[in-house]
C-alpha cells in the first residue's frame, strides 16, 4: 500500500505532469502510485519502505530482474568509455548479428529508441516497399504511441477507453483498417475490399496489451497466407514476445515467418530501445541506401547496445526459459484454483513467462472478450496484492511478466499472497 512519502511526491507530480505521470498506465496504481527507491532482483523497494515482488518488470524489458550484476558490470565498463558518440561503435554489430541470427537470418536491422519508433519505421518501410497506403491492425493490439497505430489500440488506450486518439487526423486514422484478433473472417473481409492497397498486416503474435491473449491454432499461419495472397507484408510486432517466448520469439514458437519484425524491451536490457529487422531487399529501402527516412541522435545508443548484448548472452548461457515457464504455470494454476474455491469464475491465460487473469468465464480470445472481464474485481485484486507485497499490472489490459530471478521461494510467497487475496476479495 503506497504510503505518505509516495502521496506527497504524487501530489507534487500532479502539478507537473498530466495525471502526475510520464506514461499513463503508471497512474492506474490505486489509490495512488508508489514511488520507487530502488530495484533489486525480483523486488522493487518503495520510498515508503515497502518491498514488493515485481510482476510488472517495467512492462517487460527486465527479463533478468532488476540490477542484474552482469548487465550492471557491462554498463559500468561502458560508462568508463563514454556513453554517446554519434558515430559507429563495434557492439552495435555484435548485437545486430545476434538478433538477426535469431529473427531474420540473412536480413538487416536498424536500431531505434523505442518500440514506438520501431513500428513507425516498420510501417513506413512497408508502405515504401509496396507503394501502398493502408495497414491492417487488430483491435486491442498496441504498437506504440504514434499516429499510424492509435486506432483500436490496447494497453493504456484500452485502459482509458480511447478507441482513436484525439489529435490523429481522420485522414491518417482512415488508413488503418481494424480487424479482430483470432477472427480470420474480419481480415478476409478487409482484404477483399482493400487488399491491393494494403501495405502490411501488423500484429502482436501474442497480444500482451489487452491483458494476455494467445493466437488460436493456425491464426498466424492464416495471416501469412492472406498477406501473401494480396502482396502485403506481414509485420510481427515482437516488442514483447522477442526473447520472451524463447530466444527466437514468436516466429519460432508458432512456426510462422514474418517479413518485418519489430523488437524492443528485452533487446535493450532495460535501456531505451527499438529495432526493425527485415529481409535485405526491404531494409535496403531505409536511408541512407534507400529513400524511406529514418535517423536518430540516440539510435544504437552504446549503453543500450552493451546492456542488450549482455542480457542476451545471459539468456543464452543460462537458458532460464523452462524455469520461468514452470513458475508462470504455478501462478496460473493457483490463480485458477484460488479463484474457483472462492466463487470467482475466471479465465487465466499464460504462455512462457507471461500470465494474466480475467474475471470472465469461458475463455478470452479477443479484445471483446477481454473487455467483458469485471475490471472492478481486477482492480481490487491488484490493490489487495499490492498491500500484500505483490505488484501486478495495475490494468486488466496489461500482462504479468516473470523474470529469471523469480525463484521458487519468490513464487511460493506470491502463491500464498494470491490465496489470501482471493479470500479477501470474496469478503
Confirm or reject binding of residue 116 to ligand PLP (CB under 6 A). Answer: yes
Write the DSSP assignment of 168-237 as a string of letters. S-HHHHTTEEEE-TT-HHHHHHHHHHHGGGEEEEEE-SSB-SSS-BPPPTTHHHHHHHHHHHHT-EEEEE
- Which of 109, 233, 239, 327 is in the footprint of ligand PLP by CB under 6 A? 239
Confirm or reject binding of residue 292 to ligand PLP (CB under 6 A). Answer: no
Q: Write out the binding residues for ligand PLP, residues 164-203 only, by CB under 6 A.
A: none
> Of the ranges 225-233, 237-245, 277-285, 365-373, which one interacts with ligand PLP (CB under 6 A)?
237-245
Place of cell 474457483: 340
Place of cell 511478466: 401
Confirm or reject binding of residue 119 to ligand PLP (CB under 6 A). Answer: yes
Reply yes or no on whether 237 is catalytic: yes
Confirm or reject binding of residue 59 to ligand PLP (CB under 6 A). Answer: yes
- The distance of closest approach from Cβ of residue 23 to ligand PLP in the complex, given in angstroms and rounded to an integer, is 8
The catalytic position among 98, 137, 265, 371 is 265
61 or 320: whose CB is closer to ligand PLP?
A: 61
What count of other Cβ atoms lies within 10 Å of the Cβ of residue 265?
28
- The distance of closest approach from Cβ of residue 60 to ligand PLP in the complex, given in angstroms and rounded to an integer, is 7
41 or 208: whose CB is closer to ligand PLP?
A: 208
Phi, psi for 88 (deg, rounded to 5): -60, 150
Confirm or reject binding of residue 356 to ligand PLP (CB under 6 A). Answer: no
H helix or E strand, kind and range, residue 138: strand 134-138
Q: Among 181, 184, 232, 173, which Cα is nearest to 207's?
A: 181
The catalytic position among 10, 98, 237, 321 is 237
115 or 320: whose CB is closer to ligand PLP?
A: 115
Positive or negative torsion for Cα 177, 178, 182, 183: negative
- Tell me, by CB under 6 A, how many residues bind ligand PLP: 16
Asked if 373 and 358 touch (Cβ cutoff 8 Å), the reply is yes
65 or 154: whose CB is closer to ligand PLP?
A: 154
What CA–CA distance (Å, rounded) separates 282 from 259? 8
Write the DSSP assignment of 386-397 as a string of letters. HHTTEE--SSTT
Confirm or reject binding of residue 269 to ligand PLP (CB under 6 A). Answer: no
- The distance of closest approach from Cβ of residue 59 to ligand PLP in the complex, given in angstroms and rounded to an integer, is 5
- Which of 2, 39, 107, 144 is in the footprint of ligand PLP by CB under 6 A? 144
155 or 347: whose CB is closer to ligand PLP?
A: 155
Asked if 242 and 267 touch (Cβ cutoff 8 Å), the reply is yes
Angle at 255 between CA 348 and CA 371, to 5 degrees: 30
Check residue 286 and report its DSSP letter. B
- Which of 78, 114, 182, 366 is in the footprint of ligand PLP by CB under 6 A? 114
145 or 417: whose CB is closer to ligand PLP?
A: 145
Q: Is 138 exposed, middle or buried (0-12, 13-18, 19+ CB in 10 A)?
A: buried
- The distance of closest approach from Cβ of residue 33 to ligand PLP in the complex, given in angstroms and rounded to an integer, is 18
Asked if 247 and 88 touch (Cβ cutoff 8 Å), the reply is no
Write the DSSP assignment of 1-37 as a string of letters. ---HHHHHHHHHHHHHSGGGSSSGGGGGSSSSPPPEE
H helix or E strand, kind and range, residue 43: strand 43-46
Confirm or reject binding of residue 143 to ligand PLP (CB under 6 A). Answer: yes
> Of the ranges 75-83, 112-120, 315-323, 347-355, which one interacts with ligand PLP (CB under 6 A)?
112-120
Confirm or reject binding of residue 124 to ligand PLP (CB under 6 A). Answer: no
Phi, psi for 112 (deg, rounded to 5): -125, -160
> Of the ranges 72-80, 115-123, 346-354, 382-390, which one interacts with ligand PLP (CB under 6 A)?
115-123
What count of other Cβ atoms lies within 10 Å of the Cβ of residue 171?
7
- The distance of closest approach from Cβ of residue 142 to ligand PLP in the complex, given in angstroms and rounded to an integer, is 5
- The distance of closest approach from Cβ of residue 25 to ligand PLP in the complex, given in angstroms and rounded to an integer, is 9
114 or 347: whose CB is closer to ligand PLP?
A: 114
List interacting residues with ligand PLP (CB under 6 A).
59, 114-116, 119, 142-144, 155, 204, 208-209, 237, 239-240, 264
What residues are labeled active site? 142, 237, 265
Amino acid at each position: 500500500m503506497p504510503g505518505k512519502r509516495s502521496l506527497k511526491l504524487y501530489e507534487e507530480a500532479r502539478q507537473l505532469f498530466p495525471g502526475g505521470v510520464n506514461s499513463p498506465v503508471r497512474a492506474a496504481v490505486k489509490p495512488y502510485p508508489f514511488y520507487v527507491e530502488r530495484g533489486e532482483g525480483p523486488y522493487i523497494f518503495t520510498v515508503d519502505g515497502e518491498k514488493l515482488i515485481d510482476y510488472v518488470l517495467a512492462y517487460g524489458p527486465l527479463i533478468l530482474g532488476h540490477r542484474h550484476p552482469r548487465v550492471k558490470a557491462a554498463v559500468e565498463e561502458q560508462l568508463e568509455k563514454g556513453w554517446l558518440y554519434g558515430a559507429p561503435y563495434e557492439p552495435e554489430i555484435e548485437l545486430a548479428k545476434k538478433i538477426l541470427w535469431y529473427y531474420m537470418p540473412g536480413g538487416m536491422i536498424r536500431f531505434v529508441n523505442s518500440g514506438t519508433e520501431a513500428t513507425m519505421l516498420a510501417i513506413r518501410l512497408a508502405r515504401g516497399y509496396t507503394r501502398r497506403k493502408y495497414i491492417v491492425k487488430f483491435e486491442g493490439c498496441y504498437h506504440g504511441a504514434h499516429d499510424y497505430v492509435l486506432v483500436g489500440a490496447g494497453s493504456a488506450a484500452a485502459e482509458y477507453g480511447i478507441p482513436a486518439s484525439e489529435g490523429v487526423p481522420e485522414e491518417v486514422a482512415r488508413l488503418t483498417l481494424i480487424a479482430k484478433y483470432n477472427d480470420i473472417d474480419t481480415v478476409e473481409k478487409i482484404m477483399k475490399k482493400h487488399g491491393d492497397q494494403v501495405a502490411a498486416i501488423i500484429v502482436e503474435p501474442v497480444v500482451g496489451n489487452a491483458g494476455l491473449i494467445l493466437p488460436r491454432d493456425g491464426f498466424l499461419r492464416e495471416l501469412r497466407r492472406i498477406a501473401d495472397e494480396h502482396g502485403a507484408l506481414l509485420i510481427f510486432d515482437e516488442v514483447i514476445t522477442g526473447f520472451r517466448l524463447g530466444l527466437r520469439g514468436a516466429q519460432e514458437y508458432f512456426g510462422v515467418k514474418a517479413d518485418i519484425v519489430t523488437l524492443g524491451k528485452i533487446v535493450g536490457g532495460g535501456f531505451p530501445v527499438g529495432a526493425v529487422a527485415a529481409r535485405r531487399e526491404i531494409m535496403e529501402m531505409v536511408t541512407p541506401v534507400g529513400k524511406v527516412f529514418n535517423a536518430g541522435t540516440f539510435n544504437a545508443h552504446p549503453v543500450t547496445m552493451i546492456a542488450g548484448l549482455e542480457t542476451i548472452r545471459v539468456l543464452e548461457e543460462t537458458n532460464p526459459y523452462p524455469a520461468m515457464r514452470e513458475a508462470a504455470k504455478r501462478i496460473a494454476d493457483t490463480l485458477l484454483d484460488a479463484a474457483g474455491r472462492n466463487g470467482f469464475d475466471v479465465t487465466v491465460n499464460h504462455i512462457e513467462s507471461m500470465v494474466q487473469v480475467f474475471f470472465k468465464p469461458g475463455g478470452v480470445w479477443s479484445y471483446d472478450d477481454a473487455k467483458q472481464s469485471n475490471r472492478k474485481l481486477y482492480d481490487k485484486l491488484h490493490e489487495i496484492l499490492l498491500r500484500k507485497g505483490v505488484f501486478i499490472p495495475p490494468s486488466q489490459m496489461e500482462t504479468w511478466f516473470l523474470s529469471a530471478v523469480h525463484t521458487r521461494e519468490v513464487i511460493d510467497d506470491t502463491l500464498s499472497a494470491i490465496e489470501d487475496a482471493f479470500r479477501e476479495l470474496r469478503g
